[in-house]
Structure 1
Amino acid sequence: MTDKVVFFFDIDNCLYPRSYKIHDIMAKLIDDYFMERLNLSFNDASILHQKYYKEYGLAIEGLVRHHEIDPLEYNSKVDDALPIAQVLKPDPKLKEFLLSFDKSKVKLWLFTNAYKTHAQRVIKALDIENIFEGVTFCDYSEPILICKPKPEMFERAMKDAGVSSNDKCYFIDDSYTNIKGAKEFGWNLTIQYIDPLDNPPPAKAGHYELRDFLEIKALVPELFK
């Protein structure tokens, strides 16, 4: 077990801005998958997609629960079909920020509801793949999917990262429900990243909200060089 702080970073719409529209491309691929595999109209596919997303946090979980869909097949048609390398580009400002952490005090860890292949493709495109020490992902090969904000997913992340104390767990995510779940789970520092183009929620999900990663330095200056 580590005695360092573990800083968990969400990936999508967090390490890169929403303006890249990866989410929009993914939403279309998901709707297409619903139409093809469930034989639905576009309107019905979109409605069911959103219903499952709201109920389970992942559209794929609804597909697995109710339609016996193979999650790995879904992943190949959706996440792995995203044109990541064509859309995402290295972000020198992000890389410089991540490299400014004091690695003697903090372990950087990726924490995503996507499958591991998606995580690997994104961090490679952003040129930050050698900065993080590991990744906790939703394992689509398992019979029951575990994802944020389920308590079991926060437990898995802690086990993966080798940290036993909630006091050592810091977390940033763009998702209101994921940050709310982490705070309720007892993680020490929870930050909702809010895209500069988005309005803030009516109430805070976690301990803090920010629109620029550089603001983290003011919150926890002791973790930086």
Structure 2
Amino acid sequence: MADDRIVFFFDIDNCLYPRSYMIHDRMAKLIDDYFMDKLNLEFDEASYLHQKYYKDYGLAIEGLVRHHEIDPLEYNSKVDDALPIAEILKPNPKLRAFLESIDTSKVKLWLFTNAYKTHASRVVKALDIEDLFDGVTFCDYAEPVLICKPKPEMFERAMKDAGAVSKDKCYFIDDSFTNIKGAKEFGWPVTIQYIDALDKDPPSLAGHYELRDFEEMKSFIPHIFK
């Protein structure tokens, strides 16, 4: 029997945990250090190139692979996997209770990240929510060409991985304006930008909705909850 449930795709970093944990900042420092070490750059040059590649490609690592023949799996070991995730993140009972309030007879929960699979696994394990998701779509650093959000091919991959029967069955939450905008343009009918407490209100709406607390979903998509 075909599984025609809604697939709800959840971004991980700065979405399932708040930006105040500073994981992104720690990662940015490790990326800058990697650029300095591998490309023999001073800090200002490394930081500039890091941000340029992030803006151009969605991931700094893609610029390194394209232009400098860097091994992305080695990069992952020096950056994402070097973060002390288990020391920074702790189980979040409120988040777990929210996810458990979603009616899984109607909805399949799926992780969707631009990080590599090892980072995704470490984060959801530290938050004690890994058992609530059916799977994960990640940027596969082992591939010769890296595909990441907001490329349409990445949304197609996520649908295929999760067994989504149609775009109409795909819901998505992410903290990134660009990723949410891309998902809406791709044709997903429920796209939600998560705005952290540390963030100002965006100048415009990226997708269909925006929120600062996951509980707000119960007001605009109540049909997915128990």
1:78 alignment counterpart: 79
Tell me, yes or no, if structure 1 residue 174 matches structure 2 residue 168.
Answer: no
Q: What's the offset of the Cα at 1:221?
A: 1.0
Aligned equivalents of 1:5 and 1:33: distance in 2? 40
2:59 alignment counterpart: 58
1:23 alignment counterpart: 24
Q: Where in structure 2 are the equivalents of 1:1-225 lying within 5 Å? A: 1-225=2-226
- SS of residue matched to 1:86: helix
Aligned equivalents of 2:165 and 2:180: distance in 1? 19
- Consecutive unaligned residues of structure 1, counting only runs of 5 or more, are none
Structure 1 runs of 4+ with >4 Å offset: none
Instruction: Report the number of matched residues.
Output: 225
Aligned equivalents of 2:225 and 2:192: distance in 1? 17
Q: What's the offset of the Cα at 1:19?
A: 0.2
- Consecutive unaligned residues of structure 2, counting only runs of 5 or more, are none
- SS of residue matched to 2:142: coil
Task: Kindly provide the amino acid, as one letter, of the partner of residue 197 in structure 1.
Answer: L
Q: What's the offset of the Cα at 1:164?
A: 2.5
Q: State TM-score, norm by structure 2.
A: 0.99
Cα RMSD after superposing both structures: 0.6
Q: What's the offset of the Cα at 1:167?
A: 0.7
Task: Kindly provide the amino acid, as one letter, of the partner of residue 44 in structure 1.
Answer: E
Aligned equivalents of 1:136 and 1:51: distance in 2? 25
Aligned equivalents of 2:129 and 2:75: distance in 1? 26
Task: Kindly provide the amino acid, as one letter, of the partner of residue 39 in structure 2.
Answer: L
Q: State TM-score, norm by structure 1.
A: 0.99
Aligned equivalents of 2:202 and 2:48: distance in 1? 23
Aligned equivalents of 1:207 and 1:163: distance in 2? 20
- SS of residue matched to 1:101: coil
